[in-house]
Chains A and B, each alone.
Chain A
Amino acid sequence: METMLKNKKIQVTGLSKENEVVNITNRENGAYPVRMETRNLNVKYGKVSAVKNISLPVYNERVTALIGPSGCGKTTFLRALNRMHDLTRNASVTGEVLLDGNNIYNPKVNPVTIRRKIGMVFQKPTPFPTMSIFNNVVAGLKLVGIRNKALLNEVCEKALTQAALFDEVKDRLNSPGGSLSGGQQQRLSIARALAIEPEVLLMDEPTSSLDPQSSSKIEDLIHELKKNYAIVIVTHNLQQAGRVSDYTGFFFLGELIEFGETEKMYTNPAHKRTEEYLTGKFG
């Protein structure tokens, strides 16, 4: 297993030659294995290309932030990582997305099992409004046939606590998910994604609908979670990306302009556009 993951890393390093826009800074510190990886990933809506030839690694136990002006393809890229585009009629994906070295777009792979391993939190809160808070959290577990009440209770409490929501809802776990406020609904969505204990967690601007307090709770949560997960977070909040992420990818017009360690990129961006974006000249 170890060697396999190491091999993967060598391939990633090789990638930067193929795709010259990508500028992978600082590879010396290679303590973390690559969990996911895209290779020449393209996503088109009809004939319009929204993600162009992107190759990017996602390290285990690290947070990867995707930044860039709105409409530059961050969401589109993220949704390619757990095959959500399968559900959009006019979207087509080419290239490879590897999870532990296996291409998830291989026709033999069942997208349902992929989505159980790669959890997702959306930009808008999406609790099931008629389902109770409890059932919302354990919805994914019930899907795989877990009915043990004690276990469900335990998972529910843990996930809600992680999502910084437990104290607010512990007395009304049976009220409908739709009865919560917007910020609470988003934390409920996060708890629901955590309850199935995915291997990779994808978050699309998870705090854009939250108040600053809940946002910082979520950021703490991300710090906590990265001990066990590989996390990819889309954000247009540069401070947030700086705070939570270890690696950052800068997207512009569907292309990955620069990818590297967050610290390096923020202090010394390799690309002029990145610098302009980080210093607020556009976006």
Chain B
Amino acid sequence: MKKKEEQINNVLKKPVGIIYRWLGDRIFLSAAVILGLSIIFLSLSMAWVLYGEGSLSFGEFGFWGFLRGTTWDPGIQLIFGALPFIFGTIVTSVAALLIAFFPAMAIGIFIAEYAPRWLGNIIENLVHLIAAIPSVVIGIWGIFVFAPWMREKVYLPVFNWAAEHYPSLLPVLGNPMGYGMASAIIILALMIIPYTTALTRDAIRQVPKEQREAAWALGATRWEVIRMAVIPYARGGILAGAILSFGRAIGETMAVAMLIGNKNNFPFSIMGPAATMPSVIINEFREAVGSLHLSSLMAIGFVLFVISLIVNLLAAYITRKLSISGGQVA
């Protein structure tokens, strides 16, 4: 007994190399700090460059004037206002999220709670597969398959029906050519379902089993357990997932640009062509001749950057605010 104590004491007294005691921590700390700072620096300098390049446009129209301007005419008047694209981005993303959220949540709940493991794995892999398809491929499928099908089966019938019964609706509905806001929204919804699903599933998997068991022990059925114990506990994660998916929808460029019809005339209609911030940038960059036009595109890039940043910060804030640690509400 005595001997053992002595041994332990010896081990404790043994000098530890200075490199472990002192340098080790500092090296790790400084590496982490440098990396962290450089990421912040990189983002800030990106924003700074975008703002600098866009300053010509901001100077010409004023910052708020540029954001509120409804005319985008690079051909004749050389007037640039970003509102149509901000509007297009927000409307397509919000609508896509509204369409995607409940199905995605249902799939996430099904995978995490109901499906036997093999079936859950299959569905999960399928969902991942959708996420892995390059958006240009989805765009091509949209152009050649989805949009023509929607035109024949949905847009034209709706348009004809409205023409007969409610002609006043026609301007709101817009041109049923197949390439337009509605098609872009549906494709966007499809593209964000995997993200919302995966994040919902993760949030649900993190619910401690004690919470579930507490509900079971009260005589809850499977669905009641989910409603009573699982979803409330996971709500922060689920909501943050939805907002992150929304962020992806905002930035999604290729598939949207290929399907939305790319028309800058404001206001937009439901089925008719429209544009978003990413789509106008990618469509007009190569052809932008005037420096004011180029500067305006950069300015849109700056606005897009800021909106994305806000959305991500919001998601982080909500996760923090609604998260539950150790049974304690934060």
* A interface list, Cβ under 8 A from B: 82, 84, 87, 112-113, 115-116, 119-120, 122, 124-131, 139-140, 143-144, 176, 178-179, 185, 189, 192-193, 196
Q: Do B212 and A87 touch across chains, with their CB atoms under 8 A apart?
A: yes
Contact (Cβ within 8 A) A129 B233 = yes
How far apart sit A144 and B211, CA to CA, in the bound complex (Å)? Answer: 19
* Chain A residue contacts of B224, Cβ below 8 A: 143
* Given A112-B220, A129-B233: A87 and B213 interface contact (C-beta under 8 Å): yes
Q: Is A185's CB under 8 angstroms from B327's CB?
A: yes
Within the complex, the shortest CB–CB distance from A113 to chain B, in Å, comes to 7
Q: Is the C-beta of B36 less than 8 angstroms from some C-beta in chain A?
A: no
**In the assembly, what is the distance between CA of A250 and CA of B329, in Å?**
39
The residue in chain B whose Cβ has the minimal distance to the Cβ of A198 is B219
Q: Decide if A128 touches B210 in the complex (CB within 8 Å).
A: no
Residue of B nearest to A195 (CB): B218
* Additional 8 contacts, C-beta under 8 A, given A119-B217, A127-B327, A178-B327: A84-B217, A124-B210, A127-B214, A128-B229, A129-B329, A130-B232, A179-B329, A192-B218
The CA of A126 and the CA of B215, in the complex, are separated in Å by: 9
A9 to chain B, nearest CB (A): 28
For the complex, give the distance between the alpha carbons of A123 and B215 in Å: 15
Minimum CB distance partner of B212 in chain A: A87
The 8 A CB mask of B215-240 against A (1 = contact, 0 = none) is 11111110010001100110100000
Are A113's CB and B219's CB within 8 A?
yes
Closest to B322 in A: A130
- In the assembled complex, the CB of B206 is this many whole angstroms from the nearest CB of chain A, namely 13
| Contact partner, B217, options A125, A176, A193, Cβ 8 Å | A193
- Contact call B213/A130, Cβ cutoff below 8 A: no
Considering the complex, give the chain B residue whose CB is closest to the CB of A131. Answer: B232
Determine whether B95 belongs to the interface, using a CB cutoff of 8 Å to chain A: no
**Interface assignment of B10: CB less than 8 Å from any CB of chain A:** no
State how many angstroms separate the Cβ of B203 from the closest Cβ of chain A: 13
Task: Tell me whether B186 is interfacial, beta carbon within 8 Å.
Answer: no
User: Count the B residues whose beta carbon is within 8 Å of the partner chain — how many?
Assistant: 22
Given A129-B324, A178-B324, A178-B329, A115:B218 Cβ within 8 A: yes
A–B pairs, 14, beta carbons within 8 Å? A122-B217, A126-B211, A127-B214, A128-B228, A129-B233, A129-B324, A129-B328, A129-B329, A140-B218, A140-B219, A143-B220, A178-B328, A179-B328, A189-B214
With contacts defined as CB atoms under 8 Å apart, how many contacts are there between chain A and chain B in the complex?
Answer: 79
* Nearest-CB residue, chain A, relative to B330: A178
Which chain A residue shows the least CB distance to B224? Answer: A143
| Given known A129-B324, A129-B328, A130-B233, contact A116–B214 (CB-CB < 8 A) | no
Chain B residue contacts of A179, Cβ below 8 A: 328-329
Verify A143–B218 contact, CB threshold 8 A: yes
Minimum C-beta distance from B1 to chain A (A): 19
Write out the residue numbers on chain A whose beta carbons fall within 8 Å of the beta carbon of B220: 112, 143
Closest Cβ–Cβ distance, residue B239 to chain A (whole Å): 12
Q: How far is the CA of A120 from the CA of B218 in the complex (A)?
A: 8
Let me know if A128 and B211 touch, CB within 8 A: yes
Contact between chains at B219 and A126 (CB < 8 Å): no
A84 to B247, CA, bound (A): 41
**Complex interface: chain B residues within 8 A of A112 (CB):** 219-221
The answer to whether A126 and B213 touch (CB under 8 A), given A144-B219, A179-B329, A192-B218, is yes
CB distance from B249 to the nearest CB of A (A): 28
A129 adjacent to B218 (CB under 8 Å): no
> How many whole Å from A142's CB to the nearest CB in chain B?
9
Q: Do A87 and B216 touch (CB < 8 A)? A: yes
| Shortest Cβ distance from residue B323 to the other chain A in the assembled complex, whole angstroms | 10
Residues 39-65 of chain B, each 1 if its beta carbon lies under 8 Å from chain A, else 0: 000000000000000000000000000
Give the residue among A82, A84, A130, A140 with the most B Cβ atoms within 10 A. A130
| Of the residues A84, A124, A131, A185, contact of B216 by C-beta under 8 Å | A84
B216→A125 contact, CB < 8 A:
no
Name the one of A129, A144, A196 contacting B327, with C-beta atoms under 8 angstroms: A129
Q: Which residues of B contact A119 (CB under 8 A)?
A: 217-218
Contact in complex: B214, A126 (CB < 8 Å): yes
- Minimum Cβ distance to chain A for residue B295 (Å): 49
By the criterion CB–CB under 8 Å, are A176 and B329 in contact? yes
Query: Whole-angstrom distance from the CB of A123 to the nearest CB of chain B?
Result: 9
Which of chain A's residues have a CB closer than 8 A to the CB of B210? 122, 124, 126
* A residues less than 8 Å from B212 (CB atoms): 87
